[in-house]
Amino acid sequence: AQSVTQPDIHITVSEGASLELRCNYSYGATPYLFWYVQSPGQGLQLLLKYFSGDTLVQGIKGFEAEFKRSQSSFNLRKPSVHWSDAAEYFCAVLTGGGNKLTFGTGTQLKVEL
Amino acid sequence: DTGVSQDPRHKITKRGQNVTFRCDPISEHNRLYWYRQTLGQGPEFLTYFQNEAQLEKSRLLSDRFSAERPKGSFSTLEIQRTEQGDSAMYLCASRRDRQTGELFFGEGSRLTVL
């Protein structure tokens, strides 16, 4: 079954430092991949998505992600983290014949001032 | 575009009681999804509708759970005879039928079963 794995449960970075959150997918064909962010008590907001084409995808809030087929990865990056980026981040893959999203377990990001 | 709205945002109930959650999707979205999220986990798919038709239900959706979307607009998720294990955030999301993948989420309804 198609799935995504987020190996890091918690990550702590200093404000201004760079960030990379890992996501590995399991899928036979080219997957449709997403990154969502969830702030405490809030719903999920889409950061970016990859369907095809350019493997470096730009998103909102200064985030980007790179699709690497050889590594089955879709890691999320940000050059300089802001304190407001502290949240939980979820990677997801489109499954069920394109009808639903399957999410990873999430990575909780803490930003130290 | 007023976004996906869910009601109530928080519900505390005693074990054995019934609860109902409502979701109003974005108006032109004909697909509506319910997910469940427990602490430390990602959202887990429960069910989805295309217009008023319920097209798929997860094995997570036991017989105590029922979802409806009678007129293809808002949806309700009812849990009968609640158990402590039902405590979770219930998330609703919607999208257009021919739009690829992206779901728009509401802020969720948090259920606590005592």
What's the average model confidence in pLDDT over B43-60? 93
- Residue B99 pLDDT: 67
Asked whether A90 and A22 are in contact (CB, 8 A), the reply is no
Determine contact, residues A4/A103, Cβ cutoff 8 Å.
Answer: yes
* Residues A77-95 pLDDT 10s: 999 999 999 999 999 999 8
Q: Is A39 on the interface with B (CB under 8 A)?
A: no
Subunit contact A100:B56, Cβ cutoff 8 A: yes
B91: contact with A, CB 8 A cutoff? yes
According to the model, what pLDDT value does residue B102 have?
87
pLDDT tens sequence across B88-110: 999 999 998 776 778 999 999 99
Q: Read off the tokens for B109.
A: 């309804």
Which of B49, B53, B44, B33 lies closest to B86 in space, CA to CA? B44
Q: Which two tokens stand for residue B28?
A: 């032109």
Residue-level pLDDT at A96: 79
Report pLDDT for A33: 94
Which positions of chain A have pLDDT values less than 70? Answer: none
**Torsional sign, CA B97, B100, B105, B111:** positive
| Dist. CA B27–CA B38, nearest whole Å | 28
Percent of chain A with pLDDT over 90: 80
Taking the C-alpha atoms of residue B7 and residue A107, their distance in angstroms, rounded to an integer, is: 27
Query: Taking CB atoms and an 8 Å limit, are B102 and A105 in contact across chains?
Result: no
Check A94 against B44: CB less than 8 A apart: no
Q: Which positions in chain A touch B42 (Cβ < 8 Å)?
A: 90, 92, 103-106
DSSP B44-102: EEEEEEETTEEEEE-TTS-TTEEEE-TTSS-EEEEE-S--GGG-EEEEEEEE-TTS-S-
Relative to beta strand A10-14, strand A107-112 is: parallel
Q: Which residue bears the tokens 């918690």?
A: A10
Give the mean pLDDT of chain A. Answer: 93
Residues of B in contact with A106 (CB under 8 A): 40-42
Q: What SS3 state is found at B106?
A: coil
- Is the preceding omega at residue B43 within 30 degrees of 0, hence cis? no
CA dist B114 → A49, B17, B85 (Å): 39, 10, 10
Which tens digits make up the pLDDT trace of B4-46? Answer: 999 999 999 999 999 999 999 999 899 999 999 998 899 999 9
Q: Print burial letters for A15-29: b (CB count within 10 Å at least 16), e (below 16).
A: eeeebebbbbbebee
